[in-house]
Amino acid sequence: MSFESFLTSARDFLPILLQGVWVTIALTLCALVLATLLGLLWALMRTSGTRWLEWPAKAVVNTLRGIPIIVQLFYIYFVLPELGLDLTAFQAGVIGLGVAYSAYMGEVFRSGMLAVDPGAVEAAESLGIPRFRIMTRVVLPQAVRIVLPPYGNMLIMMLKDSSQASVITVAEISTQSRLIAASTFKNQEVFTLAALLYLALSVPLIILVGQLEKRFGRA
């Protein structure tokens, strides 16, 4: 692969690949929202102190953690329609990725909640600060600091795992590159471009997480 042929390929294929980039970003962000909301739910259930909330959440989290994402995607895209629930590939991708990652998010949130200094919460209570304010002024600021770096890492992993949605035909970066490579046989150029595009998306995130760890790791 000469550098010129690479540049020519880049010029020809980038417009199509960039469409894939937008799909990758949209898929990752939608799945992130779903994973965050569900993850919070699992974490709140698991730290509720009520056994009949803790147990189901634990069961769900362990089940999700125990099944590969690709199988979860197959299940949602191919099995749910048989049960009467038709989803577009993108919708199935968002749900599959979001639900799968909610298990890991839940564990991240749970560890953050458990790491908040109970003494500080008690001190706030002893000052007569209202419950809601204790949440917003003491618990959440501390939990967010603890959770932000691992949360950022989850986001990076989701970005890369969004490529698994190509198996259910979501037109994101890897799907597009596979299609182009199959029709042009320019495997080297196309997959190099795909790798570079993923790096362009993930390296800024990796740097950001590094900064977060530096800032919050100390306190």
Partner 1 sequence: MIEIEAVEKSYGPLRVLKGISLRVPEGKVVCVIGPSGSGKSTLLRCVNGLEGYQGGAIRVDGRLVDRGRKAEIRAVRQRVCMVFQRFNLFGHRTALENVTEGPIYALGEPRQQAEAGGRELLARVGLSGKEGTYPAQLSGGQQQRVAIARALAMRPQAVLFDEPTSALDPELVGEVLAVMRDLAREGMTMMVVTHEIAFAREVADHVVFMDHGVVVEEGPPDEVLATPREPRTQEFLRRVLRPLD
Residues that bind partner 1 (CB under 8 A): 117, 119-120, 122-130, 133, 137-138, 141-142, 145, 219
Contact between 10 and 189 under an 8 Å Cβ cutoff? The reply is: yes
Q: Is 50 or 126 the residue whose CB approaches partner 1 more closely?
A: 126
Q: Is 145 or 178 the residue whose CB approaches partner 1 more closely?
A: 145
C-beta of 141: minimal distance to partner 1 in Å? 5
C-beta of 138: minimal distance to partner 1 in Å? 6
Q: Is 121 or 156 the residue whose CB approaches partner 1 more closely?
A: 121
C-beta of 142: minimal distance to partner 1 in Å? 6
- Total count of residues recorded for the chain: 219
Rounded alpha-carbon distances, angstroms, from residue 155 to 127, 175, 186: 38, 20, 31
Q: Is 84 or 119 the residue whose CB approaches partner 1 more closely?
A: 119
Contact between 208 and 153 under an 8 Å Cβ cutoff? The reply is: no
C-beta of 152: minimal distance to partner 1 in Å? 19
CA angle 73–74–77, rounded 5-degree value: 80
CA angle 179–101–76, rounded 5-degree value: 60
